[in-house]
Every structure is written in structure tokens, then in C-alpha cells.
Amino acid sequence: MIKRDAYLNRIRPFMNKDLVKVITGIRRCGKSVMLKIIQQELQKNGVPADSILSYNFESMSLSHLCTAAALYQDVIARAQKLTGRIYLFFDEIQEVDQWEKAVNSFRADLDCDIYITGSNSKLLSGELATYLAGRYVEFVIYPFSFREFVELVHETQPDRAPADCFSQYIRYGGMPYLWELNYQDGPVRQYLLDLYNAVELKDIVRRKQIRDVGFLERVLAYVMANIGNTFSATTISKYMKSEGRKVSPETVLNYLHAGSEAFLFYPVKRQDLVGKRILSVQEKYYIADHGIRNAVIGGNERDINLILENIVFLELKRRGYDITVGKAGEKEIDFVAQRQSERIYIQVTYLLASEETIEREFGAYRNIRDNYPKYVLSLDEFDLSRDGIIHMNIRDFLLRQ
């Protein structure tokens, strides 16, 4: 079990504080393991194991506790047998009807420290979330980064080269459980397909009460095929019409939002770097794990430019950056990444194999006059930095702290 220190370091300052710790992310990305890591940390710091009450609402054994009233009664009954502060862990809390009422009551009635996980980004945006307004802090968990992937591989294969690890990472992605499957093609594909179906059915179809599942699947497949490309709901609507399916842009937009709420996709807005405004049309979308894409529609090696861009995007998200796509005149910057007062610009490409490619990637920065760091990332082994623009191998960028 990888400790995932980057996440733990962010959570530590809030442990034993009167704020609900909310851990979100796509299904099976490691949220449950993160709860176990936090519990281990608490016990290491002297918290008795008996003071930790843990509930996993994906288990049928807890189906009788999936209302706020039933959960409240069970926790209170268990807490009355304990002394001192108790630590409450609720995994996949969205399965509990009106869970916010129960959690807020625990805060009022018990000396407790609360941690919850959920697989929907709207977990705290509904009417009931007003019970927790200003009383929670959220942490998004992502599948394994390439650095975590290499760390795991090196536990059993310490001499394996990063380039070899990266080839495997491109194909399979970073879902943690794949390690248990020894990265065998058949079992990995089956697992990722099952994961995709669980997200689609449980977190999108059931939650949004979608009736036309076939059309939803076509929209999701379109987005997966076009990660990193700019498009709009109208673009997809016109495409579906050409395929003989008439559907409104509003319906498409609802499906796109549902995919994003389930953490399957991340939308990225475009920013006019000259006019300094966010553009309202033609977003880009990136998938939460490129291994899922390979299992569902295939072609990760064929679409290597898109996959590399997706990998870099997720790495920037892990590092806490807010990301937009930059537009500078006729040029487009893949990523404008902002973190407090820090800003970096990033171009991603497979190889700088021709002067035309070099000019396209480095020339994208020609109209940007500020002094923030500007990067071109590729899989070239030689440093081709020029004109103050930093060129790095993508693997080196992903592996650095």
C-alpha cells in the first residue's frame, strides 16, 4: 500500500480540527485506502483503535443504515460505549439519504473528528449541503501519478528503467488495483471496463435518472475519443445528427456535466491571454484515467499526443494548479497553470521530430511577453531549450517533486 504522502501532507493540518474532511474522486482511485492511511496515522499518534468508527456504504451489510436517522442512531449507540474523542469515517457517503443532516448532528452532539468520501463532485452542492457550509475542507484524490507508479514498480523491480515503466503507464493508466492484477492485458481490460460501467450506471444513469443510456454512451465515447480537442455541446449535437440521432445541445450539455460530476472527465475552459478573459465556448475535456479510455475505445498508443497531454494535465491537477487553455492571437497554449501567485505555461507534444514541429511548439509563446516560466514537454532525450523556453522530457517533468 503506497502511502501517498502528497495527499497525507495536505490532510494532516486539518486532522483533529472541527472541520469535516471530504475526500472525493472517481470510483476506485484510492479514496478508501486514503481513509485507512489516515486511520494508521491517527493510531501512530496515539488514537486508540476502538475510538475509530468506520462505515463503508458500498457494503450491502450497511444497507439498513442508508438514511440519516438510522446512521445517526447507530453512531450514537456505539459512541456511548466509548470515552474521549471519537473518529468517524464514512466511505461513499452519498449512498446515505440526507447524510449531511447526520454528519452535522455528529458535529453538534459528539466530540468527534469526521472524514467522508464520495464519488460525485456535487456531493456538497445540494440544498442539504447548507448544513455544512463553511465547515468542511475538500481533497480530490486522483489515480496514481507516474511517480507513484514508478515507486510501486520499483518495490519489486528496482532496476526497471523509467522509459519502460512509462510505456506500461501509457497503456494501462494509474488505477491502483491494477497492481493486484499484475498488469495482465485481459484482466486489466475487464477490470477497467467494469469500473467504467459502474461509473456510468451508478454515478451518472442512476443519479441523473437518464433514460436513453445508449445515447449517453455515445456522448461519453465521443468525449473519450476527443480528449484534448476543443468542442462544444453544439459540436456533438451536430455530429450525432450526422449519425442519424437528433438531440439538442442542452441534452448533450447535461450529459457532459453528469460525466464531470462523476469525476470521469475534467472540463477546461479557454482563456484569452491578450484580453485576459475566460472564453465561453469550445472547452476541452480530459479523462480521469487514460487507462479507462484504452479499455473502452482503445488506441492510446495511436493517439499518443492526446494521451501525453492528458497525463500532464492530471499531473498539474495533482500539484494543485488551476488550469486553462491559453489563446494568444492565433496561437494556442496547451496549459496555463496557476497556483496562488505562481504561473507556468506548458506545451506538450510527442516528439520534436521536425523544424515545423519545433516552430509550432516554441512559436506558440511568441506573443506572450511576461516572464513566467514557459515549458515545451516531449519524449525527446536531448535538451532543445531555446529563447528562454525550457524543454524537458515528459518523464523527467512527471518524476520531479
- At 65, the amino acid letter reads L
| C-beta separation of 346 from 316 below 8 A | yes
How far apart, in whole angstroms, are the C-alpha atoms of residue 322 and residue 330? 23
pLDDT score of 143 more than 90: yes
Q: How confident is the model at residue 26 (pLDDT cuts 50, 70, 90)?
A: very high
Identify the residue whose cell numbers are 468525449: 223
DSSP three-state, residue 149? helix
Cell readout for 236 is 456533438
* β-bridge partners, 267: 285
pLDDT 10s digits, 275-302: 677 766 679 999 999 999 999 999 999 9
Reduced to 3 states (helix: H, G, I; strand: E, B; else coil), residue 22 is: strand
pLDDT band at 131 (very low <50, low <70, confident <90, very high): confident
**Which of 88-97, 121-130, 233-242, 260-269 is predicted least confidently?**
121-130
Cell of 293: 479510455
Q: What would the DSSP string read from start to end of 325-365?
A: EEEETTEEEEEEEEETTEEEEEEE-S---SHHHHHHHHHTT
User: What local confidence, expressed as pLDDT, does residue 73 receive?
Assistant: 98
Residue 97 contacts residue 72 (beta carbons within 8 Å)? no
pLDDT in tens, 49-84: 999 999 999 999 999 999 999 999 999 999 999 999
**Sheet with 265-272, side-by-side order of all strands:** 277-287, 265-272, 322-328, 331-339, 342-348, 374-378, 390-393
Position 46 scores a pLDDT of 97
C-alpha cell at 105: 448532528
Mean pLDDT of the 345-356 span: 97
**Per-residue confidence band for 389, with pLDDT thresholds at 50, 70 and 90:** very high
> Mean pLDDT over all residues of the chain?
94
pLDDT for the residue numbered 272:
87
pLDDT per position as a tens digit, 236-277: 999 999 988 888 999 999 999 999 999 999 999 999 887 677
The CB-based long-range contact list for 343-347 (8 Å cut-off, 24+ gap) reads: 343/370, 343/372, 344/372, 344/373, 344/374, 344/375, 345/372, 345/373, 345/374, 345/375, 346/312, 346/316, 346/374, 346/375, 346/376, 346/377, 347/375, 347/376, 347/377
